[in-house]
Every structure is written in C-alpha cells, then in structure tokens.
Amino acid sequence: MKAVLCEQLGSPQDLVIRDIDSRTPGAGEVKVALKARGVSYVDVLLIAGQYQVKRELPFIPGSEAAGVVTEVGAGVESVQPGDRVLTPGGFAEEAVVDASDVTPLPDSVRFTTGAAFKSNYTTAYYGLQRGRLKAGEILLIHGAAGGVGLAAVDMGKLFGATVIATASTEDKLAVCKQMGADHVINYTEGFREQVKDLTGGRGADVIYDPVGGDIFDESMRCIAPYGRILIIGFTSGRPALAKTNHLLIKDAEAIGFTIGALSRHDPAWAQRNFEHLMGWLSSGRISPYVSHELPLEQAAEALQLITDRQVIGKAVLV
Ligand SMILES: NC(=O)c1ccc[n+]([C@@H]2O[C@H](COP(=O)([O-])OP(=O)(O)OC[C@H]3O[C@@H](n4cnc5c(N)ncnc54)[C@H](OP(=O)(O)O)[C@@H]3O)[C@@H](O)[C@H]2O)c1
C-alpha cells in the first residue's frame, strides 16, 4: 500500500512516498481502507521533532482518518467489512488498528468531515468545559479560523456563549462569522480595546488561546473579573510568561490542558465527551469546516499550507 513516510525529521518537503507491505489484521484488529485523513498543526510539529511527544523514525504522519472496514481479525464482532468508521490512521491508503479504536461514522457524515472532526472538537469541548463556560458569557477565541479555534466557535455557540473571534485576514474572519461568531476582530492590529468596547468595558469571561506569546499577554488586559484563560497551544512560537499580578488583580485563572492527558487520566470523561460530540455531528448541530481537500500524494503541500497559515478549519487528504 502507498504511504507517506517521515524518515528524517525536518520540513514537509522531506517526506517521502513509498509502497510498503499491507498488514493482515490480527486478533481483535481491523483493517480500514482510508478515504480521508485529517492534517493538523501537530503533524507539522511532529515531523520537525518539535512536538512534546516524539515518534520513532520512520513513521507515517497523521493521526485521524475516516474510511471503510475491509477485513476483521479473529474475535471482532463490533464491526464488519463494509462499515463506515472514524479511525486512528495516518497518511496512508489503509490502517490496521484495534477494533475498539474505531467508531461508526453515520451515513449522513461525509468521510472528509469525519476526518476533520475528532481532534479539533474534542479539544474545543474539553477546553470549554475546563473554562467552565456558561450560557450568556463572553467567549474570546484567538486563532479562531484555525482547527481548534473554529471548532471552539462552533462549540461556543452550542454552549450559548457570545463569541468574539479573532483572526489575521478578512477571509478567515468571514468564515468565523459563517460558523456563528457574534463579533470578529482582525487581531493583527490589536484586540484589547475592541473587546472592551464590545463588552461594555468588562472584558471576556473565557479566553481560548491556541496562539500564546503576545496574544496571551494582550488577553490579560481584556479578561473579565473572575475570567478564565485557556492555554491551548503556541502557534506564535512562544509560550507566554504569564504575569501573575494580572491574574491576581482580575481574580482570574490561567488553565492549561492537553486533550491527550484527558484520555490517559480520565478515559470515561473523554469517552462521554466523544459520544456527545458524535451525537451533535450526526444531527448536524456541529459542522467541521474544511478549506482544503488534497490527494494523499500532496501531503507535503497540505502541511506547507498549514505552516503558511492558509488553512481554515482543517486540510484533509482524500
Ligand atoms: N492543548 C491541546 O490539547 C491541543 C490540541 C490540539 C492542538 N493544540 C495546539 O493548538 C495549536 C493550534 O492547533 P491547530 O490545529 O488549530 O492549528 P492551525 O489549524 O494551524 O491554526 C492555528 C492558528 O494559529 C494562528 N497563528 C498565529 N500565529 C501563527 C504563526 N506564527 N504560524 C501559524 N499560525 C499562527 C493562525 O491564525 P491567524 O492566521 O488567524 O493568526 C492559525 O489559524 C497548536 O499549537 C497545537 O499544538 C493543542
């Protein structure tokens, strides 16, 4: 089968495409013919060796996909060949995984949408729970047209919040509006004053920050009393050094989390959240946004689009 391989750490252009042996599923495993694979910023970090988790070389980048079960190993009864599923899986034609790791994908959901869904929406959902977001509160989302950002716009509206979305271009802001944001701000020229104006001087109750650096610092100047700022990532390239005096003056909290830790530390919570999300996805109450669909062979181009800040929502390899 065809697979994209990271044989040496580096840039997207260092990836190679190879034909590798197809594996027969063992007991408890299933083989899935992948139809769509999600591409994310984390993949850019992983192939550069800059992610907190390191993978042994060579490896197939990518972690989430959607496809059709083609074979099942001994003892598997939960799925059968022909079933549409969400599955862990990378930039390859197929994946062999534990049967317990695949989830039925409803007929109403396209493979592309399914592949764009899990990591972004589980992160956004858990983040807003950690931020104790309540209906009627003001939610400020940075990098709101990115993967985890746009999912938070969608989820924030489901929680009943008033959503203020920031992004760097008018095209990105237009998609944030389309996804339900109540207000949008181009944060390349700052956002503190606009957030204050939009909130009658009070600031945002919950700030969702995948960007870090200067954006975090400015956020502390427009956080509401008893506000919560969520530390999600550092796409700006710099974690902020939070000034604790700002937290003290505002009675505010800075909350860090990783979605991977939730699955390890509280798998029941992670599973419950995923089931809620699957329900909302099936009924169309949430709708992942995909700006780019590219063939598998163009994995390097897809990763480069992410590096160049061109992707809105998610890029998917089909
Ligand atoms: N904590 C967790 O559990 C968790 C889970 C998933 C991802 N993450 C992290 O969340 C962050 C965002 O991931 P994502 O998948 O949403 O990424 P993404 O789709 O690439 O979006 C990131 C956004 O960051 C903004 N950005 C600002 N400065 C940037 C820069 N110098 N380079 C690139 N983008 C920049 C971009 O928006 P503008 O152009 O509008 O500024 C972009 O849309 C990453 O750091 C990732 O590791 C954390």
Q: Average pLDDT of 251-264?
A: 96
205 in the same domain as 170: yes
Query: pLDDT by residue (tens digit) across 268-296?
Result: 999 999 999 999 999 999 999 999 999 99
**200 is a domain residue:** yes
Instruction: Report the pLDDT averaged over residues 254-279.
Output: 96
For 209-214, the CB contacts below 8 A with 24+ separation are: 209/142, 209/143, 210/142, 210/143, 210/146, 210/148, 210/149, 210/234, 210/235, 211/142, 211/143, 211/235, 211/236, 212/236, 212/238, 212/239, 212/240, 213/237, 213/238, 213/239, 213/240, 214/238, 214/240
Residue 256 pLDDT: 97
CATH number at residue 209: 3.40.50.720
**Looking at the domain assignment, is residue 267 inside a domain?**
no
Tell me which of 39, 235, 257 to substitute to probe ligand 1's pocket, judged by most ligand atoms within 8 Å of the beta carbon: 235
Q: 12 pLDDT exceeds 90?
A: yes
pLDDT of the residue at 40:
95
CATH of the domain at 95: 3.90.180.10
In a domain, 82, yes or no: yes
Which pair of structure tokens corresponds to residue 118? 């899990």
Q: Look at ligand 1, atom 31, and give the residue with the nearest C-alpha.
A: 236
At 231 the pLDDT is: 98
pLDDT of 53 higher than 90: no
CA distance 166 to 193: 13
pTM of the model: 0.96
Long-range pairs, 11-20, Cβ under 8 A, ≥24: 11/47, 11/48, 12/44, 12/47, 12/299, 12/300, 12/301, 12/302, 12/303, 12/304, 12/307, 13/300, 13/304, 14/47, 15/47, 15/61, 15/299, 15/300, 15/303, 17/297, 17/299, 20/92
Asked if 303 and 176 count as a contact pair (C-beta separation under 8 A), the reply is no
Instruction: Please check whether residues 100 and 127 belong to one and the same domain.
Output: no
User: Distance from the CA of 143 to the center of ligand 1, in angstroms?
Assistant: 6
Domain range holding 41? 2-117+288-317
Pocket residues for ligand 1 (CB within 6 Å)?
Answer: 40-42, 119, 123, 143, 145-149, 167-168, 172, 210-211, 232-237, 257-259, 306, 309, 311
**Number of domains making up the chain:** 2
How close is the Cα of 41 to the center of ligand 1, in Å?
A: 6
Domain check: are 94 and 108 in the same one? yes
